[in-house]
Amino acid sequence: MDGAYTQAAQALPAPRLRFSRPRRRAWLGSLRGSEYAWAVAFVVPYCGVFLAFVAYPVVYGLWLGHAPSLYAELFNDPIYQRTVVNTLLYVGIGVNLKLFLALLMSGFFMRRGWWIKGLLLIFVLPWAVPALPTFISIHWMLNGQWGLLNNFLWNVFGIDGPGWIETSRWLALGTVIVSHIWKWLPFWTVILLAGRMAIPQELYDAAEVDGATSVQRFVYVTFPLLANLYLVCTLLSTIFTLGDFNTVFFVSGGGPALSTHVLATLGIRNAFEVARPELGVAAVMSALPLMIPLIIILMRKLRTTEVQL
């Protein structure tokens, strides 16, 4: 996931970069005979990996999930219908809320002060710790009877907290979204922070001289310059979140009563617990109408920004 960092950062408008770019970056003249053979040989290992472990599985997956009857079966399944709603809510709310908070947090971390740097080190901890231990911890923490949260509510306020993940679908789904934000907010904050730091201070000084308030500085300087980065982050995060398996699997486990599955977890469940791989592939493939436009826009965006660099 960290890869998004560069991809997203590339989208930054940075006019300065054009001057630092070397005019010529390829070897002079055409490659001589043996050099051409070397160049081809250097690409062969990656092509092998791509064909054996990406192209083949993709084609095989398409073949597994090609029967129309599978989709009829899926669409009539109430669990699947709920899963689609969950996926849309999880991705729609999770991604947008997370990135909006990341935008605000990155502004906060632009402050000067000795303790802000230390706070940032603490704040990135959820990103540094592997997903599995923390999600298991959150799962245990939210246990209705013995979890830390309800113990705290009882001891301090005398409130009997609800079973956060065992009782209601909406409570459990909300918990999953909050856990997702907890885990990934630091990552996107750091990206947007890097984006903000790349904006030249002179622009703010000029706006200051012209009497711009802090709100105006954000609206007329920061946001226009961050907009492209923000958009690329949103697209990347949407795709990553769509494929996110760990959060739902470990925080709610798809429960209560299979009501909080998302497509990524339902696909794995169908394939390995229900032992019907073609049905699992079909569940995952039903996300394609949403994914293909995203992938096309994203690839175009990433490619053009790469050229600009």
Partner 1 sequence: MNTEVINGRSVRREPHYRLRRNLTEAAAVGFGVVITIWTLVPIYNMVAVALESRGDVFTNDIWPAKPSLDSFWIVATQGYWYLEYFWHQFGNSLYVGAATVFLTLLIGSLVSFSIGRMRLRHGWIVSNAALLTYVIPSSFLAIPFYRIMQKYGLTNDLWSVIAAEVTFATPYAIFIFQQYGVSIPIELDEAARIDGASPIQVYLHIYLPLMAPALVAVGTYALLLAWNEYLYQFLLLSSKKNMTVPVALAQFLNSDEAPWNYMMATAIVYALPPVAIYYAFRRRMTAGLTMGGVKG
Chosen residue from 148, 159, 206, 274 binding partner 1 by CB under 8 A: 148
Considering the rule CB under 8 A, would residue 71 count as an interface residue with partner 1? no
Considering the rule CB under 8 A, would residue 208 count as an interface residue with partner 1? yes
Using CB under 8 A, which of the segments 19-27, 69-77, 84-92, 165-173 binds partner 1?
19-27
Considering the rule CB under 8 A, would residue 287 count as an interface residue with partner 1? yes
Chosen residue from 89, 93, 194, 290 binding partner 1 by CB under 8 A: 194
The whole-angstrom separation of Cα 181 and Cα 299 is 25
Which one, 99 or 285, has the nearer CB to partner 1? 285
Considering the rule CB under 8 A, would residue 145 count as an interface residue with partner 1? yes
Helix axes 277-285, 56-64, angle to 10 degrees: 100
Chosen residue from 74, 172, 176, 271 binding partner 1 by CB under 8 A: 271
Contact at 8 Å (CB) between 227 and 240?
A: no
Chosen residue from 84, 90, 195, 233 binding partner 1 by CB under 8 A: 195
Using CB under 8 A, which of the segments 76-84, 86-94, 158-166, 194-202 binds partner 1?
194-202
In degrees and rounded to multiples of 5, residue 243 shows phi and psi of -95, 5
Considering the rule CB under 8 A, would residue 277 count as an interface residue with partner 1? yes
Which one, 72 or 288, has the nearer CB to partner 1? 288
Q: Locate tokens 């999953």: which residue?
A: 176
Handedness of CA 242, 149, 105, 211 (dihedral sign): positive
Considering the rule CB under 8 A, would residue 309 count as an interface residue with partner 1? yes
CA distances from 289 to 204, 215, 238, 303 (A): 42, 39, 14, 22
Considering the rule CB under 8 A, would residue 219 count as an interface residue with partner 1? no
Using CB under 8 A, which of the segments 73-81, 87-95, 162-170, 275-283 binds partner 1?
275-283
Chosen residue from 33, 43, 78, 275 binding partner 1 by CB under 8 A: 43
Report the candidate in 86, 264, 268 with the shortest Cα–Cα distance to residue 173: 86
Burial of 217 by CB count in 10 Å (0-12 exposed, 13-18 middle, 19+ buried)?
Answer: middle
> Which residues make Cβ contacts (< 8 Å) with residue 74, sequence separation at least 6?
80, 279, 282, 283, 286
First to last CA, the chain: 22
Q: Cβ 81 to partner 1, closest distance in Å?
A: 20
